[in-house]
Structure 1
Amino acid sequence: MPGMAMRNWSSRKPLRAAPFFLPSRSMTGRLSRFRPMRKTSSTGFSAPLRRSRPPHAIMMGRRAVRVAKPRAAHHIPPMRFSAFLPCLCLAVLPAFGAQAASSGWHHVEGGSIRVVTSGRPDAAGHLRGALEIRLKPGWKTYWLDPGASGVPPTFAAAVGAKEAAVEIGFPAPRRFDDGYAPWAGYDHPVSLALTLALPDGAAAPARLQASVFLGVCETICIPVQATLSFDPGAGTDDPEHAAVVEGAFAALPEPARPGFSARVVEVVDGAVVVEAALPEGARALDLFVAGTQTLALGAPERAADGSRTLFRVPLSTHLPARAAGEELAYTLVTDAGAVSGRLKLP
C-alpha cells in the first residue's frame, strides 16, 4: 500500500480493550501525566475526575498531591507515576453503532473516534478503512513513535474468536515540545489509514470488533481505550465513508524512491547517523524515526556536513547486538512533500 503502512508498533502484541490496563515498564513514563477518570454506573470510566483541590494538584485516593506547575498554558506538567493510576484514568467505553460499515462515535473530553470502512474485501480478504480521530481545538494526538511523553495508537480487530491482521498508515506528523520532552503527532483532526486482513472463512463478516488505544492531550493527557463494533458488509457504497477512507490513504507519505529517501550511514557516539537524498531544489524540514520494542530513540537533530543532508538520531538505550540488521520505520518531510520507508541498521 502507498505511504507508510506498518503493523501496530513494530512487533508488539496489540492491546485488548479491558476494564483495566497495566502498562509495560517502557510505557510507565508515557502514562505518568494522564489524569484520573470518573466511574459512572452505566459506562465505566467515562469522564475526567473533578474535585475541589489545590491548583496544580491531582487526587490520589482522598489526598491531593501537588505536581509541577506548567510554565505555559500549552505545557503538560510531568507527574510521578502511580502504579494504580492507569486503572483509574482509562476512558473505556464500548461504542456499538448500528449495523453499518462504520462504528458509532466514541466520545472523550478532547474529541471523538470511530472506525470507518468502505467497499468490500478484495480477493485476498483485505479491507480498507480508517480510524477517524476528531480533535477539539487545542487538543493533540500521537504518531507511530511519539517520543518519551506519549503513547502510540494501537488497533486490534477480530471476527468472532478469529483475529484480523491490521496495518496502520500514518500521515506525516509534526514535532511538538510541551516543556517536558519533544514528541511527534497531530494538532488537528486526522484519519489513520487501516488495512485489515480478514481471517480465513470471514470474507464477509457479519460484525467486526475493534479494540483501540490512543492518547489525546491538551494541557493534560487522556488515554482512550474503546471497543468499536461495525459491519463491513453493510453500507459499502456510502459516499461519506468512501470519502473518509480515500482521504486517509491520500494523506499518506509516498513510498521512498531513489533520489528521495533516507539511509543509515553509521552508528557512532551513541547515535544513528542518517543521510537524506532529496529531489533537486528540495529542502529537508524534519525526519521522524520510529524505535522498536528493543530500541528507544531520541528526536533526530540536523548535522552539518558540507553539501550532504545528515541527521543524528540519538540512541536512548545502548544498541543491543541483536539490533544489527533491524529495520526502523521513518518519514522524511521536505518542502516538496514527504516519503516514508525503512532504515536498515548495520
Structure 2
Amino acid sequence: MSFAPLLRLVSMLLVALALSPSGAFAQLATGSAQVVTERVRAELLAHAPEGVAPGKPVWLGLQLAHQPEWHTYWKNSGDSGLPTTLEWTLPPGVVAGDIAWPVPKKIPIGNLANYGYEGTVLLPVPLTITPEFRPPLLGGNLDVKLKAQWLVCKKECIPEEGEFALKLPVQGSTGLHGANFQAAFDAQPQALPTSGSARVEGQTLKLEVPGLPAAARGQSLEAFPETPGVIETAAAWRQGWRGETWTAEIPLATHLGATPAQLPVVLASGDKAWRVDLPVAGTWPAASAAAAVSPGLEQALRANAAAAAVPAGGANLSLWAALLGALVGGLILNLMPCVFPVLAVKLVGFTRHGLDRRARRVGGLAYAAGVVLSFLALGALMLALRAAGEQLGWGFQLQSPWVVAGLAALFTLIGLNLAGVFEFGALLPSRVSSFQLRHPVADAFLSGMLAVAIASPCTAPFMGASLGFAVAMPPAQALLVFAALGLGMALPYLLASWVPATARLLPRPGAWMDTFRKLMAFPMFATVAWLVWVLGRQSGVDGAGALLALLVALSLVTWTLTLAGRTRVVLASLGLAAFGLLAWVAAPQLASPAPDAPALAADGRWEPWSAERVATLVAQDRPVFVDFTAAWCVTCQYNKQTTLANREVLADFEARRVSLLRADWTRRDPAITQALSDLGRSGVPVYVLYAKGRAPVVLSEILSTNELRAALAAL
C-alpha cells in the first residue's frame, strides 16, 4: 500500500500552514498594546481618570522595559543614538502633544557619553480632546493607533519598531496605570520661575542659573542641554556655587552642530530636576556638520534600514541570466541532502511503474506541475509579505516551529508506512486508502508539493544570486525566476519519466522491492532527527523534548489503529486520549523561544553577528568573515563541518587576524534578512568577507577550502 493518502491528507495541511501568514509569521507588533523583543518590552498605556471629554486630562504613554545593560535615548541622545519617535493615528478632534520626557541619565560608553534610559521608563504624551471630537455611536471607544520607533543599544545598536492599537473607553475612567503615569510625572523636570544666562567664550559655554530650590544649593548637578550637538558630552567640566547662583563651564562640542539663541537645559540632583531656558550671549564658533550619530552607528542603521540599495552582485544580472541561474540552481537542488528523502520516496513509486510508459509520463508531468506551482506559490507569498513590510527570505517557512513540527510528524508517518508498521487500508476508509489507484496524477502532484516544502530551505549554487535579484524585480519577472527554479528541480524526474531508455535501467518488479521500501524508511527517520534538532535550536531543549514525546505518542496511536477487534477500540481510545493530553501540555513548548540558545560554535572562535560589530571591526582594520546560517539549512551544516572546520582554513583566519561572526537566521531576524538583501541574497548559506577599503566579497554557497583560502590570501 502506498503512502499517497497520507501525502494527500497531511501535506496539504502542512503546505497550508507554511503558506499561512497568520500561522507562521504572526507579528507581535500588529493590533496589540504590547511588543516584546529580545531587548525591550514595549507597551502602550493609557490614563484617563475622568473619562474622555474636552477639558479632561487624558494621557497615553509608551512604556519601555529594557533588558539589563540595554538602553534607549532621550530627546537629545548625546554623542550617538537616536531619540524614540511616536507617530499617532487618532480620530478627528483628538490631538496628541509632544512627549513629556522624563529626566535621563548619562550613560558613558568608552570615551563617549549618551543621554538615555535604562530599566523601565514611561514616555507620556498628553491628548487634547477638542469640541470637534465625536464619540462613535457604537462601542463608545476612542481608537488609538501608534507606530513607534526606538534605537536600543548595549555595545551594539539595533533599530526596533512596533505598531500598537488601543481602545480607550469614552465613558467612565481609565486609571489602571495611574501609578506608572504618576511616577513619570514625578520624573519630569519642573520649570524654574526665574531665568539665568549662557555665554559663549571661545570653546567654552558658561552657565549661570539663580533661583534653584534650597535643597539643590551646594549640590553637584547634572546638566542636560535639550539641543543636541552643543557641548562635549563626555568631557570633564567645572561647576560651583556663587551664593544662590549655580555656575558651570562646559566645553563646546568639537563638531558644533547647533548655534541656538535660546538654550533649554535640564538640571538634575538625585530624583529632582528643573528646566530653565537660557538666553545665549556671545558669538558661537563656526558650526560644522552635526555628529549626533557616530560613524559606526550610522553604518549599522544603514545596514538595517528598510529601504535597501540595489543588491550587490545583482545589479549586473539581466533577467535572462537570473532565469538561467535559477534553472541551473534548481537542477543542483536535487543533489542537496534535504531533497534526498523525497527523491527516495519517488524512487519507490518509480519502481512500481516498471515498464508502464504512460503511467511514468503522466506522473512525471504531474510531479513537475506540483513542483513549479509550489515554487510559484512560495515566491508569490514571499514577495507579497515583503511588499507589506515583512522581512522575509528564502526558506522562511522553516523559521516557524509549527511548520518544523508538522514536517517531523509527516516524515514520521511516512517512515512508519515504509517500514511496514501500518498500511493505509487498515486505517482509512477504502475510498481514501485507494486514492492513488484512482488518482495517480493527484498523487504525483502532491509529491511535488512535498518536495518543494522540504527543498526550499536549501540554497544551491547559482540560486542565491538569482533569488536575490528576483526579490528586487517587478512581480511578473520575479515569478518567472521562481518558475525557472521549479522547472530546474523537476527536470531530472521529468526527463527520466519521458525517456524510454530509463525504463531499461530499472530492475523488474519483484521481492526486492519490499526490502528497498523498508530501507527507504531510514532516510525518513534521519530527516525527523534533523527536524527535531532544528526545533531544539528554535525553542530550546524543552521544545525538542516536547516534539519527541508527541512523535512517540503519534507512533503509538498509529500502531493501535492497526489492531483489530476490541483490542483496537480500547488501545486506540487510550492512545488518542494520551496523545490529546500530551499535545495540550507539551504543544506550548514547541513555539516558545529558546531561553538560552547555545552558541553556534563550540570552539569559542565565533561571536554573534551585528551590523555595528562588523562596522567597528572593519574600522579597526580587522578583516571580518560572516557566516549567515540557520539550523534548518543542511548546506550550512555541511559547510560548517567541512570547510569552516578545516585546520588550514582556521590557521589562515588566525594568521590574518580575521574576526569570525555568525548570523543565526534559524528564527526570523529582520536585521539579518535586510543584511542578506543588501548583499543581493534572499536565503542562506551566505559567506561574506569584509575588509577595510574593499567591497564585501560574497563566496559560493557550497564553500570549498580552496575558494575560501584564496579569498583570505587576497586580503
**TM-score scaled by length of structure 1:** 0.60
Match of 1:214, SS?
strand
Distance of aligned partners of 1:213 and 1:336 in 2 relative to their CA distance in 1, 3 Å threshold: closer
Q: Is the 8 A contact 2:266 2:274 kept in 1?
A: yes
Map 1:66-85; keep pairs closer than 5 Å: none
- Residue 608 of structure 2 is matched in structure 1 by none
Alignment-derived partner of residue 250 in structure 2: 312
Q: Say which of 307, 315, 331 aligns to 2:266.
A: 331
Question: Which residue matches 1:225?
Answer: 161
User: How many aligned positions are there?
Assistant: 245
Distance 1:243 1:236 in 2: 18
Map 1:289-304 → 2, pairs under 5 A = 289-291=225-227, 296-299=230-233, 301-303=236-238
Deviations 1:68-100 (A, max 9, x none): xxxxxxxxxxxxxxxxxxxxxxxx963423xxx
Match for residue 150 of structure 1?
A: 81
The alpha carbon displacement at 1:286 in A equals 1.0
Q: 2:192 matched to 1:263?
A: no
Q: Are the structure 2 counterparts of residues 162 and 211 from structure 1 closer, same or farther at C-alpha, using a change threshold of 3 Å?
A: farther
Which whole-Å deviations, capped at 9, do the CAs of 1:33-74 have from their partners, x for residues lacking one? xxxxxxxx959xx9xxxxxxxxxxxxxxxxxxxxxxxxxxxx
Inter-CA distance 108–175: structure 2 relative to 1 (3 Å threshold): same
- Alpha carbons of 1:236 and 1:345: their partners in 2 closer, same or farther (altered >3 Å)? farther
Partner of 1:136: 67
Task: Give the number of the structure with larger relative contact order, counting CA–CA contacts within 8 Å between residues 6 or more apart.
Answer: 1
Residues 1:208 and 1:239: Cα distance change in structure 2 (over 3 Å): closer
SS state of the match for residue 167, structure 1? coil
Alignment match, 2:36: 107
Letter in 1 for 2:88: A
| Cα separation, 2, equivalents of 1:93 and 1:163 | 26
Instruction: State the distance in 2 between where 1:138 and 1:161 align.
Output: 41
Secondary structure, in 3 states, of the residue corresponding to 2:99? strand
Which of 209, 215, 218 is the matching residue for 1:276?
Answer: 209
Distance (Å, rounded) in 1 between the aligned partners of 2:39 and 2:171? 29
Q: Which amino acid aligns with 2:275?
A: S
Residue type of the alignment partner of 2:97: V
Among 153, 157, 169, which residue is 2:100 paired with?
169
Q: Which runs of 4+ in 1 moved over 4 A?
A: 160-163
Q: Any idea what SS the aligned residue of 1:298 has?
A: coil
Contact 1:95–1:105 (CA<8 Å) still a contact in 2? no
* Shift in alpha-carbon separation, 1:306–1:136, aligned structure 2, 3 A: closer
CA distance in 2, matches of 1:330, 1:304: 15
1:137 shift after superposition: 1.8
Long gaps (5+) in structure 1: 1-40, 47-91, 98-103
Give 1 or 2: higher strand fraction.
Answer: 1
After TM superposition, the structure 1 stretch with the greater mean CA deviation from structure 2, 335-344 or 211-220, is 335-344
One-letter code aligned to 2:29: P
Asked if 1:210 is matched to 2:146, the reply is yes
Kindly indicate whether residue 45 of structure 2 is the aligned counterpart of residue 116 of structure 1: yes
1:190 maps onto 2:121 in alignment: yes
Cα distance between partner residues in 2 of 1:244 and 1:191: 7
Q: Distance in 1 between matches of 2:85 and 2:31?
A: 19
Higher Cα Rg: structure 1 or 2? 2
Matched residue, 1:252 = 188
Give deviations 1:143-183, integer Å, cap 9, x for gaps. 11011211111222122578833221122211112115211
Q: Which has the higher helix share?
A: 2
3-state SS in 2 of match to 1:317? coil
The question of whether the paired residues in 2 share the 8 Å contact of 1:209 and 1:228 is answered with: yes
From the superposition, tell whether residues 336 and 144 of structure 1 become closer, same or farther in structure 2 (CA, over 3 Å): closer
Secondary structure in structure 2 of the residue aligned to 1:96:
coil
- What is the root-mean-square deviation of aligned Cα atoms in Å? 3.3
Deviation at 1:301, TM superposition (A): 4.9
Cα deviation, 1:241-281, whole Å, max 9, x if unaligned, reads 222222221222222234xxx63331221443212334444
**Which residue of 2 is the match for residue 51 of structure 1?**
none
Partners of 1:158 and 1:164 within 8 A in 2:
no
Q: How far apart, in 2, do the equivalents of 1:344 and 1:93 lie?
A: 46
Q: TM-score, normalised by structure 2?
A: 0.31
**How far apart, CA to CA, are the structure 1 residues paired with 2:190 and 2:134?**
29
The answer for the alignment partner of 1:96 in structure 2 is 31
The answer (yes or no) to whether the contact 1:130–1:244 under 8 Å persists in 2 is: no
Contact conserved, 1:128 with 1:196, CA < 8 A, in 2?
yes
Identical amino acids, percent of aligned pairs:
19
Distance change >3 Å, CA 132–CA 203, structure 1 → 2: farther
Any conservation in 1 of the 2:92–2:132 contact (CA below 8 Å)?
no
- Cα pair 1:273 1:311 within 8 Å, conserved: yes
